Amino acid sequence: MFLVFTYLYEQSRQNYFRAWQLAWAAYTLHYGLEAFGHFRGPSAPLFFLSSLLLVAMAICIFVSTRLVRGPFQLKWYDAALALVGVVLALLNLRAHLVGGVFIEKPAPIVYYRLEVGLAAIPAVLLFAFLLYAHRKNSFAFRMLALSLALWAALLGAGQVRYPSSKSLAS
């Protein structure tokens, strides 16, 4: 998807495509770090950096809705959204630190998953793209809204943990 949005940006030079390109770059790097951590072993800095890339992805999508309407101007709520994302990333990191040691899969505890919080952003923003698609009668923006809906579902549903088959057998 990063390459698709790179191509779209090169063809149109629309800034919202650049924002989506950066969002997919951050998302791809997030999974690259997760894969690296899988082979290298769990690491608190790697986990936190991976979480920050998810925050960057969400911020890029958030900014893209305003870039559709015109040039970007930094607003107070951009910083507030970024701060909330960083705080969620820190809370998730803290949940994985047990006695000062990073544990990849901590004991079941109640905490807010970063991915679930970030899934709310594309879920809400899809309505902005649907409204814009309706005004412009644009199939492309309807598809963009659909992709936001799917992305939000994947971010949120990817955090559902199923019990192991051993616990199902008992």
pTM above 0.85, yes or no: no
Query: Average of pLDDT values for 37-48?
Result: 88
Q: What tokens does 78 get?
A: 């951009």
Contacts for 19-22: CB closer than 8 Å, 24+ residues apart: 19/60, 19/61, 19/63, 19/64, 19/67, 20/60, 20/61, 20/64, 22/56, 22/60
Tallying the residues shown for the chain, one arrives at 170
User: What are the pLDDT digits (tens) for 46-71?
Assistant: 999 999 999 998 898 888 888 877 78
Highest mean pLDDT among 17-21, 48-52, 129-133: 48-52
Determine how many CB atoms are found less than 10 A away from the CB of residue 155.
24
